[in-house]
Amino acid sequence: MSREELIEQAAQSIVEANKDLAVEIANKAIAEGIDPVDMINNGYSEGMARCGDRFDRGEMFLPELIVASDAMVAAISVLEEAMPAENRAEKLGTVVLGTIEGDVHDIGKGIVATMLRVYGFEVHDLGRDVPISSFVAKAKEVNADIVGSSALMTTTQVGQKALEEALKNACLRDKVKTMVGGAVVTQRWADKIGSDLYAENASEAVIKLKELFS
């Protein structure tokens, strides 16, 4: 099967919320030697974007979205196994990462965590619905170089601004770089709140952080 066919089937498996098919396609892609990151970015993520459009149009409802999310998580975990870790003697930096309090969206943040690990960063993934104080406490505890936050909703996006303030109040802002992302987040927002770095997707996050630490 060609790359294009597998990419399209991956997207379709998410739209159909078909976990078995999503996993089957992931395994096929690995067997065919297709880049797992390509499959995630252009296949499964595209499928989830189509789900988002359907949800917007009222053609898909929350329970289906939850099943589609499960299918995506299952396929990604198969592909993660196939990502060759970059060989390097030393870690590039220590990252604390999480989804802002009040927000349960964690698929994209999980992809960012995986990709950063693959490319040589030590990642402390705090999960989702993470209180601002936990980001700050973890950053102190592990002596973080980067604090990254994900927000998928306009209501939780404001938490990224609160995180900037909290890091300043804890006298950590000079020691750590901050990185923001998530579907509602833009470069403009990052500039507005004074975050050091914005990335549209996980691959871009890796490129930008590697630049910063090289």
- CA dihedral defined by 175, 131, 104, 77, rounded to 10 degrees? 50
> Which of 199, 174, 173 has its CA nearest to residue 186?
199
The residue count of the chain comes to: 214
Segment interacting with ligand B12, rule: CB under 6 A, options 2-10, 16-24, 109-117, 130-138: 109-117
Interface residue with ligand B12 among 45, 114, 160, 195 (CB under 6 A) is: 45
Q: Is 36 in the site for ligand B12 (CB under 6 A)?
A: no
Alpha-carbon Rg for the chain, nearest whole angstrom, is 17
Q: How far is the CB of 39 from ligand B12 (least distance, A)?
A: 12
Quick one: CA dihedral 46, 71, 110, 106, positive or negative?
Answer: positive
Q: Is 114 in the site for ligand B12 (CB under 6 A)?
A: no
3-state secondary structure of 166: helix
- CA dihedral defined by 183, 187, 191, 197, rounded to 10 degrees? 90
Q: Is 160 in the site for ligand B12 (CB under 6 A)?
A: no
Residue 89 or 165: the one with the smaller Cβ distance to ligand B12 is: 165
Residue 89 or 151: the one with the smaller Cβ distance to ligand B12 is: 151
Q: How far is the CB of 89 from ligand B12 (least distance, A)?
A: 26
Please state, in angstroms and rounded to a whole number, the distance separating the CA atoms of residues 31 and 34: 8
Binding residues (CB under 6 A) for ligand B12: these are 45, 48-49, 51-52, 55-56, 62, 65-66, 69, 102-109, 111-112, 148-150, 152-155, 179-184, 199, 201-202, 205
